[in-house]
């Protein structure tokens, strides 16, 4: 992967294909390869004629690991996305974020609306506003000496996933302690950019897509039937819905 410096932090990114640019922003404890390459998204979007840019969020993948929660608010990680647009001199791009990446995308759109053509919130519905209540349990799971010590089901899932992606558990704990910046209903209503909200019908982490889409001036909801937060990422109906949205808005 290539890298650039954003806010004095080394950020890894990859550049695929040619055409209209779309930046893919992965979820917590994941990385570009796991979230976007292994699930077929990069091939799918490049074959559809898009220039696909993937970014490893701070503390994740091949980007710099930081051991202080002050570096990880989503509003700050959004700067890395905006800075990548400037670094590559592409003017503007569509943003496609999954889970934590969706939250980062929302802040990027609020901070630099002229640089964002459209947005896709994957795996993040109304909980973008309501927030998520399991952070303390997940942080404890990440800091546990062994996954066998973790009893909370959701926290254990995140710990297992983080180990599978060979993530830096210490960096992730700091990240989660500040990355779930709340976004008010009033702020969401100001995101006047075409936005697709795509969430699985069994996704208790992201919450329902329809209530969030209804708040967005140009929002659309895509309910992925029968899918949870983890299984939705590479789903065929998800890809079809995203491509339809992109072709109409980007």
For residue 150, what are the β-bridge partners?
A: none
Distance of CA 141 to the CA centre of its chain: 21
What CATH number is attached to the domain comprising 32? 3.40.50.1820
With respect to residue 90, please indicate whether it lies within any of the assigned structural domains: yes
User: What pLDDT sits at residue 107?
Assistant: 97
CB 39 within 8 A of CB 33: no
Element (H, E) at 127: helix 127-130
- 3-class SS shares of the chain: helix, strand, coil, % to 5: 40, 20, 40
User: What pLDDT sits at residue 105?
Assistant: 98
Which residues are CB-contacts of 184 (< 8 A; sequence separation ≥ 6)? Answer: 129
Which residues are CB-contacts of 164 (< 8 A; sequence separation ≥ 6)? Answer: none
Helices (H) and strands (E) in the chain, counts: 11, 8
With respect to residue 162, please indicate whether it lies within any of the assigned structural domains: no
For residue 22, what are the β-bridge partners?
A: 52, 94
With respect to residue 233, please indicate whether it lies within any of the assigned structural domains: yes
Residue showing tokens 């650039």:
4
In degrees and rounded to multiples of 5, residue 105 shows phi and psi of -60, -40
CA angle 240, 242, 244 (to 5 degrees): 70
pTM for this entry: 0.96
Report the candidate in 115, 111, 68 with the shortest Cα–Cα distance to residue 94: 115
Which residues are CB-contacts of 128 (< 8 A; sequence separation ≥ 6)? Answer: 102, 103, 106, 121, 183, 188, 207, 212
CB 82 within 8 A of CB 112: yes
With respect to residue 150, please indicate whether it lies within any of the assigned structural domains: no
* Structural domain containing residue 79: 2-131+183-249
Pairing of strands 219-224, 116-122: unpaired
With respect to residue 223, please indicate whether it lies within any of the assigned structural domains: yes
- Quote the number of domains for the chain: 1
With respect to residue 141, please indicate whether it lies within any of the assigned structural domains: no
pLDDT digit of tens for each residue in the chain (250 aa)? 999 999 999 999 999 999 999 999 999 999 999 999 999 999 999 999 999 999 999 999 999 999 999 999 999 999 999 999 999 999 999 999 999 999 999 999 999 999 999 999 999 999 999 877 778 999 999 999 999 999 999 899 999 999 999 999 999 999 999 998 889 999 999 999 999 999 999 999 999 999 999 999 999 999 999 999 999 999 999 999 999 999 999 8
Q: Is the dihedral of CA 139, 142, 148, 149 positive or negative?
A: negative
Q: Is 146 exposed, middle or buried (0-12, 13-18, 19+ CB in 10 A)?
A: exposed
With respect to residue 144, please indicate whether it lies within any of the assigned structural domains: no
With respect to residue 208, please indicate whether it lies within any of the assigned structural domains: yes
């Amino acid at each position: 992967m290539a890298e650039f410096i954003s806010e004095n932090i080394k950020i890894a990114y990859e550049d695929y294909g040619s055409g209209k640019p779309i930046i893919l922003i992965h979820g917590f404890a994941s990385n570009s390869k796991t979230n976007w390459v292994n699930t077929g998204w990069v091939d799918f979007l490049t074959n559809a004629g898009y220039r696909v840019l993937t970014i490893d969020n701070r503390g994740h993948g091949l980007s710099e690991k930081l051991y202080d929660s002050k570096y990880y608010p989503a509003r700050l990680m959004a700067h890395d996305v905006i800075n990548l647009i400037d670094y590559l001199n592409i003017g503007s791009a569509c943003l496609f974020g999954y889970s934590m990446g969706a939250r980062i995308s929302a802040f990027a759109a609020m901070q630099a609306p002229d640089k964002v053509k459209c947005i896709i919130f994957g795996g993040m519905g109304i909980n973008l506003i309501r927030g998520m209540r399991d952070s303390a349990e997940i942080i404890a799971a990440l800091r546990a000496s062994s996954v066998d010590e973790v009893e909370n089901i959701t926290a254990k899932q995140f710990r297992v996933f983080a180990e599978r992606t060979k993530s830096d558990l210490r960096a992730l704990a700091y990240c989660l302690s500040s990355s779930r910046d709340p976004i008010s209903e009033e702020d969401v209503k100001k995101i006047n950019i075409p936005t697709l909200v795509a969430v699985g019908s069994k996704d208790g982490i992201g919450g329902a897509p329809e209530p969030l889409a209804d708040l967005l001036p140009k929002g659309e909801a895509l309910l992925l039937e029968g899918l949870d937060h983890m299984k939705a990422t590479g789903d065929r109906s998800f890809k079809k819905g995203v491509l339809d949205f992109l072709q109409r808005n980007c």
